[in-house]
């Protein structure tokens, strides 16, 4: 039955970019009387499954909220364990990512990452740069307010240096170029697991017209089919971008 859903969503026209807030690893583990880190370990397996699922349908962009700027405030032992898990997973999964043609990008305040982790990540980015399959964007040490502030600073610097002559020319399209997501289309669909219904400082600018989908499952329990169901749900929505439903439907008729 679920093979059908894959074909069905491909036929209906896929979103170009899906972003996921992978939440609930800690609670998944605690529910089983385990340390939170076991939830994170299990969460890595889900990441593998979801990347494969994205590949299987030919999704162009998949962004995963992997570690937020605020997550640095967690207990040192958990932060260290997470960094260790990431470094391990990168090394272990590089051949498979290459095989699947996945191209890795990273957005976030990466200078805060431990040097060893960043070294492995930059190597992975370099190695996968020419791949043409799914672009997998890892949000690492990412915070949307940090990103927007950074963009504002970059604009100010360019203005001061005379590279930006007229501030009137700074429109939304132009501002996009100063964000960490420059060149990446805005997410069409944002999925958050664990039942929480908040953005937690994720892609505030880019999600202006994104469709949200909240699922009441912890990240380690998330399945390929959950991604497909989220996409099907998205396909049944009407995105109006401020217009009336009638306008949108007439426009579609002209396409
Ligand atoms: C998501 O799971 C992973 C990260 C934020 C790194 P959590 O660790 O937030 O798990 P809960 O939300 O506490 O259950
Ligand atoms: C958001 O989850 C960050 C990631 C999934 C990486 P959190 O668990 O940190 O978010 P809050 O604290 O519940 O808002
Ligand atoms: Mg959480």
Q: Which ligand is nearest to the CA of 140?
A: 2
> Which of 107, 167, 175, 174 has its CA nearest to residue 135?
107
Nearest-atom index, ligand 1, CA of 218: 14
Between CA 235 and CA 87 the distance in angstroms is: 36
- Identify the residues whose C-beta falls under 6 Å from ligand 2: 21-23, 65-68, 71, 196, 198, 200
Cβ(192)–Cβ(166) below 8 Å: no
Q: Ligand 2, atom 12: nearest CA belongs to which residue?
A: 200
Marked catalytic residue, from 3, 25, 71, 226: 71
Question: Tens-digit pLDDT profile for the chain (255 aa)?
Answer: 567 899 999 999 999 999 999 999 999 999 999 999 999 999 999 999 999 999 999 999 999 999 999 999 999 999 999 999 999 999 999 999 999 999 999 999 999 999 999 999 999 999 999 999 999 999 999 999 999 999 999 999 999 999 999 999 999 999 999 999 999 999 999 999 999 999 999 999 999 999 999 999 999 999 999 999 999 999 999 999 999 999 999 987 766
Give the pLDDT confidence score for residue 240 in this predicted structure.
98
- HSE-CB for 31 with a 13 A CA cutoff: 11
**Catalytic: 23?**
yes
Nearest-atom index, ligand 1, CA of 28: 14
Give the Å distance between the CA of 40 and the centre of ligand 1. 8
For residue 102, report the phi and psi dihedrals to the nearest 5 degrees: -80, 135
- HSE-CB for 37 with a 13 A CA cutoff: 12
**Catalytic: 171?**
no
- Which letter does DSSP use for residue 24 in this model? -
Between CA 90 and CA 92 the distance in angstroms is: 6
Tokens 């990240």 -> residue: 219
Tell me if residue 132 falls in helix, strand or coil: coil
| pTM exceeding 0.95 | yes
Give the pLDDT confidence score for residue 255 in this predicted structure.
60
Cα separations (Å) of 228 from 4, 15, 76?
A: 10, 11, 36
Nearest-atom index, ligand 2, CA of 26: 8
Give the pLDDT confidence score for residue 46 in this predicted structure.
98
Locate 4 and state its tokens: 């059908």
Choose which residue among 22, 39, 81 to substitute to test ligand 1 binding: the one with the highest number of ligand atoms within 8 A of its C-beta: 39
Give the Å distance between the CA of 23 and the centre of ligand 2. 6
Cβ of 26 less than 6 Å from ligand 1? yes
| Cβ-count burial 12-35 (b if 16+ within 10 Å, e if not) | eebbebbbbbbbbbbbbbeeeeee
> Residue 144, class by beta-carbon neighbours within 10 Å (0-12 exposed, 13-18 middle, 19+ buried)?
buried
Rounded to 10 deg, the angle between the 224-235 and 2-11 helix axes is 40
Cβ of 67 less than 6 Å from ligand 1? yes
Give ion ligand 3 contacts, CB < 5 A: 23
Cβ of 188 less than 6 Å from ligand 1? no
Cβ(234)–Cβ(189) below 8 Å: yes
């Amino acid at each position: 039955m679920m093979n059908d859903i894959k074909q069905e969503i491909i036929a209906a026209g896929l979103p170009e970019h899906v972003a996921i807030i992978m939440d609930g690893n800690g609670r998944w583990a605690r529910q089983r009387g385990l340390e939170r880190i076991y939830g994170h370990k299990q969460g890595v397996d889900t990441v593998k499954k979801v990347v494969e699922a994205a590949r299987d349908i030919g999704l162009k962009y998949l962004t995963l909220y992997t570690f937020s700027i605020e997550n640095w405030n967690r207990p040192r032992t958990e932060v260290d364990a997470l960094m260790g898990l990431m470094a391990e997973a990168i090394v272990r999964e590089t051949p498979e990512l290459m095989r699947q043609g996945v191209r890795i990008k990273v957005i976030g305040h990466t200078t805060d990452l431990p040097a060893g982790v960043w070294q492995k990540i930059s190597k992975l980015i370099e190695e996968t740069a020419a791949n043409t399959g799914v672009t997998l964007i890892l949000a690492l040490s990412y915070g949307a307010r940090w990103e927007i502030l950074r963009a504002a600073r970059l604009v100010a610097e360019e203005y001061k240096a005379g590279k930006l002559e007229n501030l009137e020319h700074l429109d939304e399209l132009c501002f996009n170029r100063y964000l960490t997501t420059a060149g990446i289309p805005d997410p069409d669909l944002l999925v958050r697991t664990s039942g929480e219904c908040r953005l937690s400082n994720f892609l505030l600018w880019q999600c202006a017209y994104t469709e949200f989908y909240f699922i009441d499952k912890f990240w380690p329990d998330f399945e390929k089919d959950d991604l497909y169901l989220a996409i099907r749900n998205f396909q049944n929505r009407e995105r109006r971008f401020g217009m009336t439903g009638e306008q949108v439907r007439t426009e579609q008729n002209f396409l």
